[in-house]
Amino acid sequence: MSGAIYWGLWVLFRLLGSLFFHFRTDGEQLFPRTGGVIVAANHASYLDIPLLGCAIRRRVVFLGRASLFPNRLLSWALQSLGWIPLKTHRLDRRAFGVALEHLKSGTPVVIFPEGTRTEDGQLQPGRPGIGYLVEESQCQVIPVYISGTFKVLPMSAKRPRLFPVSVSFGKSIDFPKNDMISKKQEYEQIGRSVMEHVAQVGGTSSPYHDMS
């Protein structure tokens, strides 16, 4: 039943996106048709989740902040549709364990490496969690840039505004294991590399350009 609801919502948000936000996608052909893959996207708005979801023509699961939906009934409903609640104040091995099981079963997993929405519209550095997920799964990463959602519904807004939104997919990235450095360093390097690729896909500044 959750499958029918998922695809019903997929169609609904796709239609609403096209109607109100001139929603479009770019590079959909780069998304693998089968197999587990990690989808790493920038995070600017609550709208990122439904609009990214309806940009992908496969059923996906999302890693998202556990406190995002505190209502128990809503939380249960969203988890049945594929939301994995993630505790962001530490490395949540339980949540990442669930994500790894999905990847092993061939289901794409979406993660926002920045960990939270941007306050100014600029990309933020990637957190180590994306590195842990990549290193443990050894799955390819698809960098994605979501454009326009910050202008539609930024963190400070009370209601959405009409503005074009697009989702752009980049080429997949492989991250072979590196035994020459510590796990912490490896996670940090992967997080940095992923966010730099996301910036390239979006044609915007890397969150590390002032940190070099």
Supply the CATH number for residue 54's domain: 3.40.1130.10
Residue 207 lies in a domain: no
Domain count, the chain: 1
Residue 208 lies in a domain: no
Q: 3-state secondary structure string, 114-129?
A: CCCCCCCCCCCCCCHH
Q: What residue numbers bound the domain in which 82 lies?
A: 2-202
The per-residue pLDDT for range 27-75, each reduced to its tens digit, is 999 999 999 999 999 999 999 999 999 999 999 999 988 877 777 888 8
On the CB side of 15, how many CA atoms lie within 13 Å of its CA? 6
The per-residue pLDDT for range 129-176, each reduced to its tens digit, is 999 999 999 999 999 999 999 999 998 888 999 999 999 999 999 998
On the CB side of 113, how many CA atoms lie within 13 Å of its CA? 35
pTM given for the model: 0.93
Residue 165 lies in a domain: yes
Residue 210 lies in a domain: no
Alpha-carbon gap, residue 44 to 53, rounded angstroms: 15
